[in-house]
Amino acid sequence: MSHPQEPDRHRMIHPDLAVSDDEAPRSPDGHRLEHGAGTSRPLRPRSHEPQPRGARVHGHRPIDQNEAAARFIAAPEHEQMHDERLWDLRQKRDRQMRAIPEWEELREIASRIKQHTLSHLDTYLEQFEAAAKANGVHVHWAEDGAAHNRIVHAILRDHGARRLIKSKSMLTEECGFRHYMAASGIEVIETDLGERIQQLDDEDPSHIVVPAVHKLRADVADVFARKLGTDPDNDDVHYLAERQREATRPLILEADAGLTGGNFAVAETGSIVVCTNEGNADLSGNVPKLQIHSVGIEKIIPQVADLGIFVRLLSRSALGSPMTQYTSHFRGPRPGTEMHVVLVDNGRAARLGMEEFWTSLKCIRCGACMNTCPVYRRSGGLSYGATYSGPIGLILDPTFDKRKYSTLPFSSTLNGSCSNVCPVKINIHEQIFAWRKVLAEARELPLVKRAMMSAAGKVLSHPALYRTAIRTADSALKVLPRFVVYNPLNTWTQGREMPPVPKSTFHDWYAANHPAPAEDPTSPEAKP
């Protein structure tokens, strides 16, 4: 239909190709005007596209990630910003990677250190505990999230603390710490800006590193207007950041206690290392007289020297920056203060015993897999309805609740980009694949999916059935696509046209153009 020499403008004026800048005037022949007037744009009204919310959670019922993702995609301003913002992080990560000749070697060493440590976890945990105690640190052990929350609550109560400032921590999200504390009468203030936005909006973080990345500026302006009394029509980032700072800084300075997570726990020194870009862990750890660090047991590394590997990889993988603004080592209490470390299992020891999945414990929570994931970028992190979203979430979440998160390993195309960007070389996409088998064997697949696969398996293993199936009147589109492009909901036509049906199959063409196959001895069902 279209000739290869077709003029460029025919392609360029297709509405779906037009970026926002293409709204500029055109001359009568369809060319865009090049002069100054052509590039001026009308003032755009401020976006009021409502922020799409996350997955609908109903107890332990399986999360419908596709439903939540569809709502995210139906909010094009949000989806496009999210996709482009995270893709930008991926590109920055690539540039950092290319600047380091030994990048792949670093990944390999990091992976080996983690595997070694995880294989000797008991030894290193004991070493850490001894070293920390020698530094004057109180060390606590929490078997699960509930125990963690009780322990932290008890420490706060013992000190009569009424306000806790907290730096970002996925572990405390995992433990449901903020919800638990809401009933305690002790106020919790998030000090990471993104996490503070999420707290004010009563929403979970949607990303491990950039927790409010799914929000537009206008969404933040709405939240701050409601909770901090800012001007709802002003979404200038400097204005919003400054007003938040003015509102929160006094709370930080007067807090009774501070809590951080930990990127690394060094066995050799008993120190906790926290990497941030806002210095908020330093506020949490250094301002109040009581500091608490909640750390998952898999965050142990043997020695300080190992940090030379991990710190080089962490921020480059996460944000495409050479390093975080702050890399803070908390080694012991300052004079007149107390320092506590809570070491949390919460399913990690059990995960360590899972042959196909234990290496997921190598994760250093950089979020690179999320940034590169084409499904995550178009779905938003809240669509997963779980603490961990994106590729790493698909393999961690089912360890917490196999039924509720049974659908998540299917929210992937198995494209494998996540495994390639992982700084500690977790075979993420292979674990996603492996989880599908585990879930199928545990009878956690939806019935329709299982029935389709069972039918497909029968037809595809019987050549005669298969041939009959795709040779009938409407042929391919009716039967073969049952496992290729057809399903009972007919979802293919959502956004796509059906493929044309050719006159004959390859098989029939071959049969018509070649001698009968009966003489082929390798053919098992050729005999009558």
Partner 1 sequence: MRVGLFIPCYMDAFEPEVGIATLELLRRFDLDVTYPFDQTCCGQPMVNTGCHEEAAATEALFVRNFSGFDYVVAPSGSCTHQVREHMTAIPQTPDVVAVRARTYELVEFLHDVLKVDAFPWAEFPHRVSYHNNCNALRGIGHARPSELHAPFYSKPLDLLAKVKGLEVVELARPDECCGFGGTFCVFEPAVSAKMGHDKVRDHARAGAAYVVSADSSCMMHQRGSAERLGLPLKFIHIAQVLNGAAA
Q: Which of the residues 467 through 506 are near partner 1 (CB under 8 A)?
A: 470, 475-476, 480-481, 483-487, 489, 491-492, 494-502, 504-506
- Is there binding between residue 109 and partner 1 (CB under 8 A)? no
Among 20, 473, 522, 528, binds partner 1 (CB under 8 A): 522
Span of 239-247, 283-291, 354-362, 405-413 interacting with partner 1 by CB under 8 A: 405-413
Among 7, 14, 36, 353, binds partner 1 (CB under 8 A): 14
- Is there binding between residue 9 and partner 1 (CB under 8 A)? no
Residue 163's SS3 state is: strand
* Cβ closest to partner 1, residue 348 vs residue 436: 436
- Is there binding between residue 413 and partner 1 (CB under 8 A)? yes
- Is there binding between residue 439 and partner 1 (CB under 8 A)? yes
* Cβ closest to partner 1, residue 66 vs residue 321: 66
Tokens (6 digits) for 147:
């125990």
* Cβ closest to partner 1, residue 60 vs residue 449: 449
- Is there binding between residue 335 and partner 1 (CB under 8 A)? no
Question: Could you give the residue ranges of the DSSP H alpha helices within 141-192?
Answer: 145-158, 170-174, 177-182
- Is there binding between residue 314 and partner 1 (CB under 8 A)? no
Distance CA 185, CA 193 (A): 23
Among 38, 53, 87, 141, binds partner 1 (CB under 8 A): 87
Span of 63-71, 141-149, 167-175, 185-193 interacting with partner 1 by CB under 8 A: 63-71
Q: Is 493 exposed, middle or buried (0-12, 13-18, 19+ CB in 10 A)?
A: exposed
Q: How many other CB atoms are there within 10 angstroms of residue 463's CB atom?
A: 14
- Is there binding between residue 30 and partner 1 (CB under 8 A)? no
* Cβ closest to partner 1, residue 104 vs residue 143: 104
Helices and strands, counts by H and E, the chain: 24, 10
Distance CA 385, CA 446 (A): 18
- Is there binding between residue 394 and partner 1 (CB under 8 A)? no
Distance CA 458, CA 394 (A): 30
Q: Is 441 exposed, middle or buried (0-12, 13-18, 19+ CB in 10 A)?
A: exposed
Residue 331: phi and psi, rounded to 5, are: -110, -25
- Is there binding between residue 47 and partner 1 (CB under 8 A)? no
- Is there binding between residue 40 and partner 1 (CB under 8 A)? no
Tokens (6 digits) for 29:
């022949």
Distance CA 98, CA 296 (A): 32
Residue count, binding to partner 1 (CB under 8 A): 101
Among 49, 83, 268, 356, binds partner 1 (CB under 8 A): 83
> Is residue 373 within 8 Å of 390, Cβ to Cβ?
yes
- Is there binding between residue 53 and partner 1 (CB under 8 A)? no
- Is there binding between residue 411 and partner 1 (CB under 8 A)? yes
Residues 141-170 that bind partner 1 (CB under 8 A): none
- Is there binding between residue 375 and partner 1 (CB under 8 A)? yes
* Cβ closest to partner 1, residue 328 vs residue 389: 389
**Least Å from the CB of residue 146 to partner 1:** 32
What angle separates helix 121-134 from helix 103-119, to the nearest 10 degrees?
90
Enumerate residues 6+ apart whose C-beta is below 8 A from 83. 377, 378
Tokens (6 digits) for 415:
């494209």
- Is there binding between residue 507 and partner 1 (CB under 8 A)? yes
Distance CA 247, CA 137 (A): 32
**Least Å from the CB of residue 459 to partner 1:** 8
Per the document, the length of the chain is 528
* Cβ closest to partner 1, residue 66 vs residue 327: 66
* Cβ closest to partner 1, residue 183 vs residue 489: 489
- Is there binding between residue 524 and partner 1 (CB under 8 A)? yes
- Is there binding between residue 460 and partner 1 (CB under 8 A)? yes
- In the chain the first and final C-alpha atoms are separated, in Å, by 47
Among 20, 355, 514, 528, binds partner 1 (CB under 8 A): 514
Burial 336-348 (b: 16+ CB within 10 A, else e): eebbbbbbbbbbb
Among 366, 417, 426, 431, binds partner 1 (CB under 8 A): 417
